[in-house]
Amino acid sequence: MSDFWTQLIEYTNVIENETLDIDNPEHLLSKLLTHAEHERELLEAQFNPISSITKENLSIVSQLQNGISMAKKLLEQHEQLRIQERKLAIEIKSHENKAELNAQDFRTTVKRLNNTARIIDYLHCLETLLNYSSALKTSLSTESLDESLSIYTKLAHLTELVHDTSTEYLRSYSVNLTLYWYEQLKTVIDSRMEKILNTIEFPYVHKVPASHLNELFDKNRDKLKQELNYLLKLRLPNHIKHNDVQSRLRFIGWKPIPLLIQILLKGLIIRFNFHFYGKQKTNDRRKPEWYLNQIISWILDHDYFLIEQLQPLINEFSDVPPINVKVEFIRGLIELIIVKLDSQITSILIDTSLFTHYIEEILIFSQRLFVKDIDYPHNLPNCMNLLCDEIVFEKWFQVEQDVSRTKLNNIFQSPTAHQSVYERMLERTPDEIKISECAETFLTLLHAMEDRYRHVPYPSCSLRLFSLQIDLFDDFLHDLKISLNIEQQDIDPLSKHFCSILNSIVYIADVIQQWKNRSHYQRLQYFYDEYKIFIKNYGTDNNDEENFNRIDIDSTLAQQFDLIQLNKETNFTVASIFDYLLEQYRDDEEKMCNIIVNYIVSLLKAKSRRYINEKWSTMPSPKDYFNMSISLSAIDMLVELQTTFSNLSINLLKNISNEIRARIIMEFDGYLFSWLVNDHTFNEGGASQFLFDINQGWTRIANDHVSLLFNKCRESALLLTMPIGSALLLVDALQQELSMTSLSNVSSKESIISSPLPSALHEMGIHHLSEFEADQILQRRLDLTNC
């Protein structure tokens, strides 16, 4: 039997190899049956079924027939299973459809329940609003203000809750209802508050003695406190918009004026409108200072009442948000001015002279607000915000530009532009006396401009006005160069005109250096750095890399930049934007100093020819003189130097004068060293005379620390006058040092000169000559060459 199954397995394997779809049992059995039928037909055709079939063959055929029969049964069972599968699939689909219908019915029911719940909540909320409204009406009719405010507080809280719902009608109704009862309560409290304010004689339109104010306040303190309690409890929900000012005048940082301040300002507003609107003579468009000064007077007149009396009383209410009464009072008065200015701004813009006057008065008023006795916070809106409105600011910037250019031109048209502005004034330092009129007037112009825009609230506007200052620095330097060239091409570098221009450049450069570390300009530098980052992220970076000191502000992105910066903490950094300007001024300072130094050195060289060509090797011994005197050939040169140094001290600032003197001494020192010391031999008399000339002539004229710069000639004279014994020892030491240096593969003259100084030279007080130079000088001594 096992042989049969083995053969059957092998047979089916053959069928599987010939069948592509072996995973389909129906197809496999059909193929098996077809193949078996084919095999049977072949066997019947080859053998006689009677004579040649053996028992073994009959057994195989029987087994095949059994297999075929089993296959047919399997096919029938497979078909039955497929029929059952179809029935089950139909039943499952039917159940799914029924479940979906049930789920849809359930969702519809839930939705109806939710809608019903919302309607119930809506009606309940509406009923609550109506109940609050009815209760408020009743409580107000009975003049029960405490109960009315308690109910109003609940109404306002419910209005805030309704604000988050999607029911537009209910939101609108709740807001309108709250506003209605707010106005009703406001009217009641306003009338009560007005009575108590009249009792204490508020507002104070004139200066009232503090003693009288204290007397009135003490009598009515309790009543005022009770009314303040009512007033502070009456507040609108945060989401309800206020309509006290136009929306376009709500600058960055604006917030509504508290109801308490509105009531306090009521009497002042009536007076303000009476005097500064309509046909009153005080309503003069050409005199904005009238109402600006009036506001300042009102602030000062109410200062004592607000700070010493009202503020402590309000601080006793711990259940209300804190309020700075004086600041809010000032803010309310400023809104009066802003609205007034806004009503006139259109006509003011077309009149440049009137607009300039308005700018000056507004700047004076704004600066007055920040003085200690008023102390209005810088971060709150003021009249400067109106000046930073895009249209107004463009006009302001244009006026600043035109006026500054005109004043700069007038500076150099003055006949005394390069004369000292403090020359005839007493109690001035020597350096102050040398400051030119043009430099001092230019700095006055810059300081005035800085004072005007120091309190500008928006960084973008500050940067634009700052850029105008930077441009003026450039223009001033350019005009200085032009005024220098106008005089003549071959101008005397020692003339007062040349020195005055140099003083102006040095003075302005020193001011720029100081401004780099001032907090005002450090703040502007921070804003400029932030703007460069901002413009890369939000705009197009069009900054000209060649103009490092140019500030270009994109007006379309200015407001967005201001909003970002006003919500950030400002950091301070060194104002590096001045570096490019400072470099320009220092370069021109260096060029003019070089002109002076080269000019003076060339004069000294011409005057020194006779002195250089003296017979230094044949001069008499110092023992032959009763008293030594300066060489006659050096007198012209020394007089020239003394006169030049005197003129420099008179005409130039001290620091630049000292610098030029030092450079002249160093250059002429090198010149004498090369053309006198290195080209001549010296006997004892010549060396002594040279040393005497150095000590009694050059040193006395140079004086102070500058004489120390005459190093090479002075040290050369010391070597030439050194006792012969010490000189011989020094020569031996130097020769030994130079030999050791040669053995160290230092063969060039330059390497020898730059080698470290030997200790022997230091002991002799020689610090600025190398061993090679010292040896060469000692070889110039005739007393050593004859040894």
Considering the domain boundaries, does residue 353 fall inside one? yes
AA identity, residue 229: N
The whole-number pLDDT of residue 590 equals: 95
Q: Report d(CA 622, CA 738) in Å as an integer.
A: 33
8 A C-beta contact, residue 699 and residue 669: no
Q: Which of 449, 448, 579, 438 is nearest to 504 (CA)?
A: 438
Q: Is the dihedral of CA 348, 354, 355, 360 positive or negative?
A: negative
- Indicate whether 706 pLDDT > 80: no
Q: Is residue 580 part of a domain?
A: no
Using pLDDT thresholds of 50, 70 and 90, give the confidence band for residue 106: confident
Q: Tell me, what CATH number does 636's domain have?
A: 1.20.58.670
Is residue 546 scored above 60 in pLDDT?
Answer: no
366 falls within a domain: yes
Nearest Cα residue to 671 out of 719, 607, 718: 607
When pLDDT is averaged across residues 711-726 and rounded to a whole number, the result is 89
Q: How far apart are CA 273 and CA 338, in angstroms?
A: 13
Tell whether the model's pLDDT for residue 97 goes beyond 90.
Answer: no
Contacts with 637 (C-beta within 8 Å, 6 or more apart), sequence order: 604, 607, 608, 611
Q: Checking phi first, is residue 432 left (phi over 0); if not, alpha (psi -120 to 50) or beta?
A: alpha
- Whether 677 and 777 have beta carbons less than 8 Å apart is answered as yes
State whether 405 and 383 are in the same domain: no
Q: What is the pLDDT of residue 548?
A: 45
Which range (16-30, 213-227, 518-532, 535-549) has the least confidence?
Answer: 535-549
Q: Specify if 135 maps to a domain.
A: no
| Long-range CB contacts for residues 430-435, cutoff 8 Å, separation at least 24 | 430/654, 431/653, 431/654, 434/500, 434/503, 434/651, 434/652, 434/653, 435/503, 435/504, 435/507
- Report angle CA 647, 651, 657 to the nearest 5 degrees: 80
Distances, alpha carbon 525 to alpha carbons 464, 535, 543, 569, in Å: 12, 15, 16, 14
Residue 440, CB-side half-sphere exposure with 13 Å CA sphere: 16
Of the three residues 573, 601, 624, the one that is the final residue of a domain is 573
Looking at the DSSP assignment, which residues form a beta bridge with residue 420?
Answer: 436
Query: Could you say which of 346, 366, 388 is where a domain stops?
Result: 388
Q: Is the dihedral of CA 386, 389, 391, 395 positive or negative?
A: positive
Does position 3 have pLDDT exceeding 80, yes or no? no
CA distances to 53, 55, 66, 73, 542 from 8, rounded to whole Å, are 20, 19, 11, 17, 89
Three-class SS state of 287: coil
* Cross-strand partners of 781: 682
pLDDT reading at 276 higher than 50: yes
**Which pLDDT score, from 0 to 100, does residue 575 have?**
72
Do residues 399 and 359 make contact, with C-beta atoms less than 8 angstroms apart? yes
- Shared domain check, 485 and 631: no
pLDDT at 368: 93
Whether 206 maps to a domain, the answer reads: yes
One domain for residues 650 and 564: no
219 and 323 both lie in a single domain: yes
The reported pLDDT for the residue numbered 569 is: 66
Q: Tokens for 376, please give them.
A: 């209005």
pLDDT of residue 369: 93
The whole-number average pLDDT for the span 653-661 is: 90
- Are residues 507 and 373 part of one domain? no
Residue 434 confidence (pLDDT) above 90: no
State whether 231 and 268 are in the same domain: yes
Looking at the 3D structure of the chain, how many domains does it have? 3
Residues 529 and 615 both lie in one domain = no
Give the range among 60-64, 112-116, 580-584, 612-616 with minimum mean pLDDT. Answer: 60-64
Distance CA(206)–CA(559), nearest Å, equals 41
Cis peptide, bond prior to residue 312, ω within 30 of zero: no
Q: How far apart are CA 636 and CA 611, in angstroms?
A: 10
Separation of alpha carbons 285 and 276, rounded Å: 9
Question: How many CA atoms, within 13 angstroms, populate the side-chain half-sphere of residue 238?
Answer: 2
Q: CB neighbours (10 Å) of residue 435?
A: 22
Helix and strand numbers, DSSP H then E, in the chain: 32, 0
- Listed residue (472, 411, 414) closest to 439, CA to CA: 411
| Of residues 38 and 404, more confidently modeled | 404
**If you average pLDDT over residues 715-729, what whole number do you get?**
89
- Contact between 578 and 515 under an 8 Å Cβ cutoff? The reply is yes
Same domain, 597 and 501: no
Contact predicate 305/327, CB 8 Å = no
Output the pLDDT for position 428: 60
196 in Cβ contact with 227 (< 8 Å): yes
Residues 6+ apart with CB under 8 A from 300: 373, 374
Rounded to an integer, what distance in angstroms lies between the CA atom of residue 439 and that of residue 425?
17
Please choose, from the candidates 543, 549, 544, 532, the residue with its C-alpha nearest in 3D space to the C-alpha of residue 583: 549
pLDDT in tens, 63-84: 888 888 888 888 888 888 888 8
Three-class secondary structure of residue 682 per DSSP: strand
Would the pLDDT of 725 be above 50? yes
Q: What sign results for the dihedral spanned by CA atoms 58, 60, 63, 64?
A: negative
What is the pLDDT, as a whole number, of residue 469? 94
Residues of the chain with pLDDT > 70, as a percent, come to: 84
pLDDT of residue 570: 66
Q: What is the residue range of 780's domain?
A: 593-738+760-786
Decide if pLDDT at 135 tops 80.
yes
Cα of first residue to Cα of last residue in the chain, in angstroms, is: 142
Q: How would you classify residue 765: left for phi > 0, otherwise alpha for psi between -120 and 50, otherwise beta?
A: left
* pLDDT at 760 > cutoff 90: no
341 plus 276 within the same structural domain: yes
Q: Are 202 and 265 in contact (CB under 8 A)?
A: no
Contact status, residue 153 vs residue 178, Cβ threshold 8 Å? no
> What pLDDT does 426 receive?
45
CA distances from 328 to 263, 306, 312 (A): 12, 10, 15
Does 460 reside within a domain?
yes
pLDDT at 393: 92
**What gap in Å lies between CA 346 and CA 144, rounded to an integer?**
50
List, in sequence order, the alpha helices (H) in 516-631: 519-538, 555-566, 579-607, 609-612
Q: What digits encode the pLDDT tens for the residues 488-543? A: 556 788 888 899 999 999 999 999 999 988 988 988 888 888 888 888 877 655 54
Confidence of residue 21 (pLDDT cuts 50, 70, 90): low
Residue 19 has pLDDT above 70, yes or no: no
Lowest average pLDDT, out of 156-165, 405-414, 606-615, goes to 156-165
Spatial separation of the C-alpha atoms in residues 739 and 733, rounded to whole Å: 10
pLDDT at 606: 92
- Classify residue 41: in a domain, yes or no: no
From 573, 602, 623, the end of a domain falls on 573
Note the pLDDT tens digit of each residue in 232-249: 888 888 877 766 555 556
**φ, ψ (nearest 5 deg) of residue 420:** -70, 135
Taking CA 476 as the corner, what is the angle to CA 474 and CA 478, rounded to the nearest 5 degrees? 70
Q: Are residues 446 and 322 in the same domain?
A: no
Query: What is the mean pLDDT of the segment spanning 766-773?
Result: 86
**Cα–Cα distance list, 406 to 256, 356, 398 (Å):** 43, 15, 12
In angstroms, the CA 742 to CA 731 distance is: 16
User: Sorting pLDDT into bands at 50, 70 and 90, what band is 756?
Assistant: very low
416 with 380, same domain: the answer is no
What is the rounded distance in angstroms from the CA atom of residue 522 to the CA atom of residue 129?
57
Number of Cβ within a 10 Å radius of residue 103: 10
At 473 the pLDDT is 95
Sequence-separated (6 or more) residues with CB below 8 Å from residue 213: 200, 204, 304, 305, 309
- Residues, the chain: 787
Q: Give the integer Cα–Cα distance in Å for 57 and 52.
A: 9
3-state SS, residue 621: coil
pLDDT of residue 266: 92
| pLDDT band at residue 547 using 50, 70 and 90 as cut-offs | very low
pLDDT at 609: 92
Q: CA 107 to CA 97: how far, in whole Å?
A: 15
**E runs forming strands in 672-722:** none
Mean pLDDT to the nearest integer, 206-220: 85
Euclidean distance between CA atoms 390 and 411, whole angstroms: 31
Whether residue 730 lies inside any domain: the answer is yes
Summary mean pLDDT of the chain? 83
pLDDT at 406: 94
DSSP for 222-235, written as a single string = HHHHHHHHHHHH--
For residue 781, the SS3 value is strand
Strand partners, 682: 781
Pair 298, 417 in one domain: no
Tell me the percentage of the chain whose pLDDT exceeds 90: 35
Could you give the CA distance from residue 393 to residue 384 in angstroms, rounded to a whole number?
Answer: 10
The structure tokens 């607009």 sit at: 355
The answer on pLDDT for 433 being more than 80 is no
What is d(CA 401, CA 407) in angstroms, rounded to the nearest whole number?
A: 10
Comparing 14-23, 43-52, 152-161, the range with the smallest average pLDDT is 43-52
Please check the confidence at residue 686 and state whether its pLDDT lies above 90: yes
